[in-house]
Amino acid sequence: MTESEPERISHPEHDHNQCIRNAISVAEQLCLSRGVQLTPIRHKILELIWNSHKAVKAYDLLDQIRPVNDAAKPSTVYRALDFLLEQGLIHRVESLNAFVGCHCSGTQHDQLLLICTACHTVEERAAPDVLSALSTELSGAGFVPQRKTIEIHGLCKSCKPAATAASEKDDEH
Ligand SMILES: [Zn+2]
Ligand SMILES: [Zn+2]
Ligand SMILES: [Zn+2]
């Protein structure tokens, strides 16, 4: 399995075809090694989610899959999504009720998701320091988390300059 570089993920100039190829090949290998089926519909849904780094809603996936599979029903899409979540190939973005591909698939893991409110790109960060500080806080509270996902809404690197140019005169002068 190749190591992904989280820093690159939100750069619009990166080779996104490479992201898709990596994601699909990791998924195929994982499913093979776990003895689970990456059926055509699961494969297609994963591919559609990886179309970009933006979070995708289930009904958008349904709209996109109907032209190629007119028998697809909402339940078909939800079952495929459940499978991909279970296998750790995608993440649910709770605050948007949407899904995004995981570029470090293979194990279930906690994560920090940076969600851009302008372009809807979701950048996943492993953020070990943040998550370990959070673990300390939780154990101090005697709280046992089932999973830890931190979702932060704001502006990504690409959107920030345009959106804040008026208010951040110091940046360029
Ligand atoms: Zn990409
Ligand atoms: Zn992940
Ligand atoms: Zn953005």
In the predicted model, is pLDDT for residue 40 greater than 80? yes
CATH topology of domain 16-172: Arc Repressor Mutant, subunit A (1.10.10)
Specify which residues 149 forms β-bridges with: 111
**Could you tell me if 127 and 14 are in contact, meaning their C-beta atoms sit under 8 angstroms apart?**
no
Query: DSSP code of 4?
Result: P
- Domain extent listing, the chain: 16-172
Which protein residues have a CB closer than 5 Å to ligand 2 (ion)?
A: 102, 104
Q: What's residue 6's pLDDT? A: 42
pLDDT value at 126 more than 70 = yes
Counting ligands in written order, which one lies closest to the CA of residue 17? Answer: 1
Question: 143 versus 1: which is more confidently predicted?
Answer: 143
Q: What is the pLDDT of residues 50-105, one digit of tens each?
A: 999 999 999 999 999 988 888 888 999 999 999 999 999 999 999 999 999 997 76
CB 31 within 8 A of CB 87: yes
**Mean pLDDT (whole number) for 134-163:** 89
Q: Phi and psi dihedrals of 151, rounded to 5?
A: -115, 120
Cβ contacts of 98 within 8 Å, gap of 6 or more? 55, 56, 57, 58, 92
C-alpha 139 – ligand 1 centre gap (Å): 36
Residues whose CB is less than 8 angstroms from the CB of residue 159 and which lie 6 or more positions away in sequence, other chains included:
116, 118, 119
Query: How much distance in Å is there from the Cα of 165 to the middle of ligand 2?
Result: 32
User: What is the average pLDDT value for the chain, to the nearest integer?
Assistant: 86
Closest by Cα among 9, 2, 32, 24 to 111 = 9
For residue 100, report the distance from its CA to the centre of ligand 3, in Å. Answer: 15
From ligand 3's centre to the CA of 77, what distance in Å? 27
For residue 24, report the phi and psi dihedrals to the nearest 5 degrees: -70, -40
**pTM for this prediction:** 0.81
- Tell me the CA–centroid distance for residue 103 and ligand 2, in Å: 6
Q: What is the pLDDT of residue 103?
A: 79
